[in-house]
Structure 1
Amino acid sequence: MSEPRLTNRALYLQRLGFDAPPAPTLESLRALQLRHTGAFPFENLTTLSGEPVHIDLPSIEQKVLHEGRGGYCYELNNLFLALLQELGYDARGISGRVVMGQPEGAWTARTHRLSVVVLDGVRYITDVGFGGMVPTAPLLLDTAAEQLTPHESYRIEQHEDGYTLRAKVADEWKAMYIFDLQRQEDIDYAVGNWYVSTWPESSFARQLMVARTGEGWRRTLNNGSFAIHHIGSESERRQVADVDELIRLLQSEFGIRVPEHAQLKRVLERLIEPA
Structure 2
Amino acid sequence: MSEPRLSNLALYLQRLGFDAPPKPTLETLRRLQLRHTGAFPFENLSTLSGEPVRIDLPSIEQKVLHDGRGGYCYELNNLFLALLQALGFAARGISGRVVLGQPEGAWTARTHRLSLVTLKGVPYITDVGFGGMVPTAPLLLDTSDEQPTPHEPYRIEQHADGYTLRANVAGEWRAMYIFDLQRQEDIDYAVGNWYVSTHPDASFAKQLMVARTGEGWRRTLNNGSFAIHWVGGESQRRQVTSVDELVELLGSEFGIRVPEHEQLRRVLGCLIEFA
TM range (shorter): over 0.9
Q: Name the SS for the 2:267 alignment partner.
A: helix
Q: Match for residue 249 of structure 2?
A: 249
Q: Match for residue 75 of structure 1?
A: 75
Tell me, which stretches of 5 or more residues in structure 2 are unaligned?
Answer: none
Q: Match for residue 190 of structure 1?
A: 190
CA displacement, residues 113-151 of structure 1 (integer Å, 9 cap, x when unaligned): 000000011100000000000000000000000000000
1:253 and 1:170 map into 2 onto residues whose CA distance is 24
Q: Match for residue 7 of structure 1?
A: 7
Q: Name the SS for the 1:75 alignment partner.
A: helix
- 1:265 maps to 2:265: yes
1:47 and 1:200 map into 2 onto residues whose CA distance is 11
Residues 1-275 of structure 1 correspond to what in structure 2 (within 5 A)? 1-274=1-274
1:8 and 1:227 map into 2 onto residues whose CA distance is 34
| Count of matched residue pairs | 275
Q: Name the SS for the 1:173 alignment partner.
A: strand
Amino acid at match of 1:55: I
Q: Name the SS for the 1:65 alignment partner.
A: helix
1:263 and 1:3 map into 2 onto residues whose CA distance is 36
Q: Cα offset for 1:2?
A: 1.2
CA displacement, residues 89-131 of structure 1 (integer Å, 9 cap, x when unaligned): 0000000000000000000000000000000111000000000
Q: Cα offset for 1:215?
A: 0.1
Q: Cα offset for 1:169?
A: 0.2
Q: Cα offset for 1:59?
A: 0.1
2:133 and 2:16 map into 1 onto residues whose CA distance is 20
1:179 and 1:68 map into 2 onto residues whose CA distance is 30
2:212 and 2:2 map into 1 onto residues whose CA distance is 33
Q: Cα offset for 1:274?
A: 4.2
CA displacement, residues 9-48 of structure 1 (integer Å, 9 cap, x when unaligned): 0000000000000000000000000000000000000000
1:175 and 1:250 map into 2 onto residues whose CA distance is 28
1:175 and 1:3 map into 2 onto residues whose CA distance is 32
Amino acid at match of 1:54: R
Amino acid at match of 1:113: R
1:242 and 1:58 map into 2 onto residues whose CA distance is 34
Report the TM-score, using the length of structure 2 for normalisation. 1.00
Structure 1 stretches (4+) deviating beyond 3 angstroms?
none
Q: Name the SS for the 2:125 alignment partner.
A: strand
2:274 and 2:56 map into 1 onto residues whose CA distance is 37
2:4 and 2:212 map into 1 onto residues whose CA distance is 27
Q: Name the SS for the 2:273 alignment partner.
A: coil
Q: Name the SS for the 2:251 alignment partner.
A: helix
Report the TM-score, using the length of structure 1 for normalisation. 1.00
1:156 and 1:274 map into 2 onto residues whose CA distance is 37
Q: Name the SS for the 1:38 alignment partner.
A: helix
Tell me, which stretches of 5 or more residues in structure 1 are unaligned?
Answer: none
RMSD: 0.5
